[in-house]
Structure 1
């Protein structure tokens, strides 16, 4: 006869789940900074910034790329202007692997009317990690329902139709930033069929029609309303079981980064 055997497991000896650190910074143009300085931009980036017809667009482009270079220097060591980038086949910028051959930091930037945003991995990067960020301004003119019918899945469009009329434009942009952040994390942007995946607000989640982009639990979504008029969303794809730690910081144009 074999008696019952009681097994006890010392949970303190279990390995802690891996932690992925992501820093997200937004910068709002409060009018105090005037025309954005360009000391952190490469020559090609300065030329690109100069081609914008409107100062607000020059500012947001310059702020986003300056944030990126300043954050890379802060968290990954090389001076701001030492960082070089390449683009994938869909145009998403990535750190040149020659600068960081093992587990290059992942980043994504977004710029819109009055705001720039940059998300960056701040520590070791497990294989399969990707991040996407999107920011949008409520003050931009939009045809929320027609755009939803064109780009949202049927369940997302039904959800938007259920919102009070006074909330439709804001909730459209909230969901839009989530979808665009996911598409950017996937590395495809508008190359990803926006009707082939579905984001929900409560709870924040994403589900894909096809298995290519991993199960829902491989993704974590977050979004924030930044007063007075911006939605910002972050999408992170990471190995299931990885704990995500986000450091969020909102800056004003008075905090514009300067060269190290």
Structure 2
């Protein structure tokens, strides 16, 4: 493929790919934290266990046609599946619109990795090193390919992002005597720095913090508490903030 292709081609292509990747990411977010293989095995109904046919696995469309239920037992299909598929498509479309061409492909790849990390952190408060490491590699690859920011800004961002949250985690642990920040969060922030460069890190952290406060406020108004006391998935918040900063 050439970057000289018409600009409308890119959001369409990346949007379709994003929906497919979103479907895979949704499955990974369910299987991996549960200790099941993220790659092996055919998809099946969570209610009756029946193996799903190919036409039941078409992203978004299958959910709509089946009205969100298994055609055999009528069990509800997890809404998270279609939401993740839509988010994957949205990442692809946004990347294709913001940067038609290979830069958009690189941006979409980072966005999909962030979506996977955010989905897993939301489901299990876990940021797999293999995904964070892959994000770091893709981010560095973008810099070497000549996409902004420069490789030096990315390297500074990687070091600064990791160091900033590592120091926060170490300080909290020293003062409070308990862990307040997961070990994967500094690594993720470092990988984000390798993608966006050091200048974007304060804005990413600000957006993630404001989003976190908004979630707490909404839960307080609704009279609800977090699923795990005093914990919010910072990785999910950072992932969303990072892609927003890149796209905007």
TM-score by length of structure 1 reads: 0.31
User: Could you say which structure has the higher strand fraction?
Assistant: 1
* Structure in which a larger fraction of residues adopt helix: 2
TM-score (norm 2): 0.32
Q: Which has the higher contact order (CA 8 A, sep 6+)?
A: 1
Structure of higher CA gyration radius: 1
